[in-house]
A and B are shown apart, each in its own frame.
Chain A
């Protein structure tokens, strides 16, 4: 059952004749619990795609449906709340709040939604990601790999319908990348978490259940949906 569907998703920048087709009619389906990697070179449209999927940007035409909600039908305010509850983001730059410690960073999205964190669940994630002894550490006391693990924990803590990860290891060296990816893989299988991972690196994409290749704003190959 798809949790995420795009239909003829198109994003153009500029006006004719200098039109840039960042996305050119992308049809995509991601099933609940699936770990999908979208692979493309820089400029292929993969980041634009992720921004559309997360409702961070509006398409020129076409639709994005997340958990039966069509994003373009929502008002800005609704979209903000929808994102907060349903989408977990992991970006290349970690985006941790420097004044908050590890634990506070992780539960921030939950508190923003006016909820109390599910403490045992959050602790479980923190332990699984090897951050058990870093609860009170500040982001600047952590290595890059650890910071990204905190960002992954933050994305998972609100139990989102879907996690969108945009080049999560883009700022990390190969060794640290492999350390962080293991964490992502483990959480995917432990929680049956739906994950869309955007990357240019085919080595990294291997961890996904399915690899989709994107080129010039179009899907070139969509992989085999696992049974």
Chain B
């Protein structure tokens, strides 16, 4: 009798141990298989493991780890490409004004020019120098932001002051063009932002609004609190931006289809976006080219 009981329990024990062993080795083997593939740099993750058990979950997680690493590697590569593209774009953009300066200075040095032509060439040189200067300034700012040597320091500060500082910066140019800048009444609030850089972003938008508006134009700034963000909108009645350009205009060195003949290098809005997004905010554009209402840029900053 006892012998039977002992034998049966022994068999049960061995069976359980064997099943456990099988389960564990299968689990280890499946994770091992995934790791093996990662080591072989085969990222196809072709094994279908959509079963509702531990092994499948474990293998799934191992897969996710691979994916995370791939994404991060791709991200680093993309950043490297951005920097490379940046350098090549920049050198390309600098060529034209530099060639201009070289040519005009050559002609001026030859000396066979009447006073009127000489003056014309000097003023053209001045424009080219201005263009280079502006590009240089923007590039320095951008490189600081991209490399992260200047980190934005968002803190809770009154947004009213930031807006005033931006307006003061562009006031002279606005007056020269007889463009009126008005600010709708709003209750000043503290928003999470870096004042110096946010001012920079607003100035870039205002600069554009002035540049692409006719003389005697009108720019209206409004501040509107939402639940999580506060919207600062800058509206002009300028030439507008066609819809097809909306997804493009914030890209580096992109120039709108209808502004190719105007001064500019296509960095301003890229800078705006970089600054605002580094602070957890975002920018939207709305525009009605050909209409009377022009363009509205909305900057969304976090309330806290």
Interface residues of chain A, those whose CB is within 8 Å of chain B, are 1, 3, 31-33, 67-69, 73-74, 77-79, 81-82, 85, 113-115, 130, 143, 145-146, 159, 161, 175-176, 178-179, 181-183, 185-186, 189, 192, 202-203, 205-208, 210-211, 223-224, 226-227
Contacts and interface: CB of A to CB of B under 8 A. Distances in A.
A1 B228 CA distance: 34
Most buried by A among B44, B74, B302: B74
B74 A202 contact: no
B51 interface: yes
Given A68-B44, A182-B282, A130 B228 contact: yes
A203 B286 contact: yes
Given A113-B57, A115-B57, A179-B229, A1 B50 contact: no
B81 to A, nearest CB: 5
Contact of A33 (B74, B298, B302): B74
B103 interface: no
B43 interface: yes
A78 B50 contact: yes
A147 B85 CA distance: 41
Contact of A179 (B63, B75, B227, B247): B227
A221 B228 CA distance: 33
Interface in B69-98: 70-72, 74-75, 78, 81-82, 85
Contact of A145 (B44, B82, B227, B281): B227
B72 A192 contact: yes
B52 interface: yes
B280 interface: yes
Contacts of B246: 202, 206
B67 A67 contact: yes
Contacts, number: 104
B170 interface: no
B270 interface: no
A130 B228 CA distance: 7
Nearest to A3: B67
B226 interface: yes
Interface residues of B, number: 45
Contact of A182 (B43, B81, B228): B228
B48 A81 contact: no
Interface in B215-263: 224, 226-229, 231, 243, 246-248, 250-251
Contacts of B56: 81
Contacts of A159: 64
Contacts of A186: 280, 282
A74 B48 CA distance: 9
A93 B282 CA distance: 24
B195 interface: no
Contacts of B197: none
Contact of B48 (A78, A85, A130, A205): A78
